[in-house]
Amino acid sequence: MTGKTLYDKIWDAHRVAEDANGETILYIDLHLIHEVTTPQAFAGLRAAGRPVRRPDRTLAVADHNVPTINQAAGTGAVADEEARLQLQTLERNVAEAGIEFFPMGDVRNGIVHVVGPEQGRSQPGMTIVCGDSHTSTHGAFGALAHGIGTSEVEHVLATQTLRQRKAKNMRVWFGGEPAPGVGAKDFALALIGLIGTGGGTGSVIEYAGPAIEALSMEGRMTLCNMTIEAGAKAGLIASDAKAFDYIRGRPAAPKGAAWEAAMTYWSSLHSDPDAAFDREIHIDTAALSPLVTWGTSPEDVVPVSGHVPDPAHAPNAARATQIQRALDYMGLTGGQPIGEARIDRVFIGSCTNSRIEDLRAAADVARGRKVAAHVSAMVVPGSGLVRDQAEAEGLDQILIAAGFDWREPGCSMCLGMNPDKLVAGERCASTSNRNFEGRQGPGGRTHLMSPAMAAAAAIAGRMIDMRDLPPVDGAA
């Protein structure tokens, strides 16, 4: 008999019942909620007279809509009337249901996928869902974590379960040792560039290999976060001592004897050596260089030293049309060096890259340098606690001295539904996860990259390999 994958094991441990229609009723350990994808779910429960089954397994934050300045003024001061109503609706719903909630301005508030791990709520072996596609982030802890729609949010609130069909098993092996300046964001972009945005559809991806073991928890979260951009249901990484160390001592982490029991169980959660995967992919990280996106899909990837594709060299007419459409939107010419394009804005933040390690990487590049005169650059920490830690380390002072705008936590300019957005035609170097048309604001042009690369773009005013930045005066 062949062994089981990590996904198989978590799936089996959460099966409540099999329905006649072919769906499995799967138990959900942690349900994260936010203001945008829940109002209709709570309204549905109210209309049907159904209570929230397990408020204690639910955690709420306000992140998508919130402004990233002046949060202490509270929800009532949010200028956008619709956003304010949505935030107030969440406040009312969680109060009625008795759900733990970190409101805007609370130091524990922030982007839902930063807060869950930070509080120790996201743990190995769990099933974790949220009405947000980047829930795949929590797979970094060896959990089965994925996004759901609002009807499913309502279903989880009412039943603490989800109706699911088993996905396929896919493993992506990251071998080799990456060059300095190449990290988790480049791993993610390399994979999506290779298999495409539909390449993972119907599969759960397990990441493994020496380059994954070497990644920090922040890096693993970045990689798992971007799994949805490859179309996969979820991405996960077997938990190890690094994961346990990250969780230990956090507010919701098991304590005392429970911690020992949990560690014993968590240590058993890995794919068996003889487990069969439906598909396996190998990527040699030693061969990677810092990557950026040139187009309007996360699969439109090019090394920062490379050239934008030329539709004349496309493999077929359909692809040529697609490339031309993306070039037109992005204001680029086929075949031009990507490094020639002038950057107007820089955004360092989002559930992909707003954790302490990301801010350290950006500050390392910014230290002693200045943001180019024509660039407006902002740094948005993933949570109030990340912001506090960064300030304790003096990162804010380095970034502010370089000319970056230092903001309060939230989803910010990742998705253009709060005051932080691009103006039509603006070109942005962004650490977020999607470069779709209009994603950061109507007509905005997004280039995805790592925090260090985004900081380098801010300094140079164009996309540049940060290893090619001129040395800081007085440095070696």
In the window 312-341, what residues touch other proteins (CB under 8 A)?
Answer: 318, 322
Q: Out of 21, 251, 316, 471, point to the residue binding other proteins (CB under 8 A).
A: 21
Cα-flanking dihedrals φ and ψ of residue 50, to 5°? -105, 130
Instruction: Look at the alpha carbons of 238, 244, 245, 250 in this order and tell me if their dihedral is positive or negative.
Output: positive
Closest to 164 measured CA to CA, from 186, 149, 183: 149
Minimum distance of other proteins from residue 41's CB (angstroms)? 9
Taking the least distance from each CB to other proteins, the nearer of 387 and 427 is 427
- By the rule CB under 8 A, 85 interacts with other proteins: yes
Q: Out of 159, 267, 376, 389, point to the residue binding other proteins (CB under 8 A).
A: 159
Q: Out of 96, 106, 163, 324, point to the residue binding other proteins (CB under 8 A).
A: 163
Closest to 239 measured CA to CA, from 255, 274, 215, 203: 215
**Alpha-carbon gap, residue 10 to 8, rounded angstroms:** 6
Minimum distance of other proteins from residue 332's CB (angstroms)? 18
- Any bridge partners for residue 293, and if so which? 301
What tokens were used for 55? 């408020």
Tally Cβ neighbours within 10 Å of residue 377: 26
End-to-end CA distance of the chain: 59
- By the rule CB under 8 A, 442 interacts with other proteins: yes
Give the binding-site size for other proteins (rule: CB under 8 A).
Answer: 74
What tokens were used for 227? 């799994």
Q: Out of 8, 63, 118, 152, point to the residue binding other proteins (CB under 8 A).
A: 152
CA atoms within 13 A on the CB side of 177: 1
- By the rule CB under 8 A, 40 interacts with other proteins: yes
Minimum distance of other proteins from residue 14's CB (angstroms)? 8
Taking the least distance from each CB to other proteins, the nearer of 74 and 442 is 442
Q: Kindly indicate which of the ranges 23-31, 206-214, 355-363, 398-406 contains the residues binding other proteins, using the contact rule CB under 8 A.
A: 23-31
Minimum distance of other proteins from residue 25's CB (angstroms)? 6
**Alpha-carbon gap, residue 457 to 230, rounded angstroms:** 25
**Alpha-carbon gap, residue 24 to 15, rounded angstroms:** 7
Cβ neighbours of residue 372 closer than 8 Å, sequence gap 6 or more: 343, 458, 459, 460, 461
Which segments within 209-344 are labelled E, that is strand?
A: 234-236, 279-284, 291-293, 301-303
Cβ neighbours of residue 363 closer than 8 Å, sequence gap 6 or more: 390, 395, 398, 399, 455
Minimum distance of other proteins from residue 13's CB (angstroms)? 9
Q: Out of 437, 461, 467, 469, point to the residue binding other proteins (CB under 8 A).
A: 437
Minimum distance of other proteins from residue 146's CB (angstroms)? 8
DSSP 104-123: TT-TT-B-HHHHHHHTT---
Residues 244-303 that bind other proteins (CB under 8 A): 254, 258-259, 261-262, 265, 297
- By the rule CB under 8 A, 29 interacts with other proteins: yes
Judged by phi (left if over 0) then psi (alpha if -120 to 50, else beta), residue 136 lies in alpha
Taking the least distance from each CB to other proteins, the nearer of 38 and 285 is 38
Residues 116-145 that bind other proteins (CB under 8 A): 123, 126, 131-133
Minimum distance of other proteins from residue 279's CB (angstroms)? 16
CB-based contact 34:179 (threshold 8 Å)? no
Q: Kindly indicate which of the ranges 47-55, 180-188, 341-349, 402-410 contains the residues binding other proteins, using the contact rule CB under 8 A.
A: 47-55
Residues 182-221 that bind other proteins (CB under 8 A): 197-198, 201-202
Q: Kindly indicate which of the ranges 18-26, 175-183, 352-360, 453-461 contains the residues binding other proteins, using the contact rule CB under 8 A.
A: 18-26
- By the rule CB under 8 A, 473 interacts with other proteins: no
Minimum distance of other proteins from residue 215's CB (angstroms)? 25
Taking the least distance from each CB to other proteins, the nearer of 116 and 231 is 231
- By the rule CB under 8 A, 416 interacts with other proteins: yes
- By the rule CB under 8 A, 357 interacts with other proteins: no
Q: Out of 151, 177, 287, 472, point to the residue binding other proteins (CB under 8 A).
A: 151
**Alpha-carbon gap, residue 255 to 257, rounded angstroms:** 6
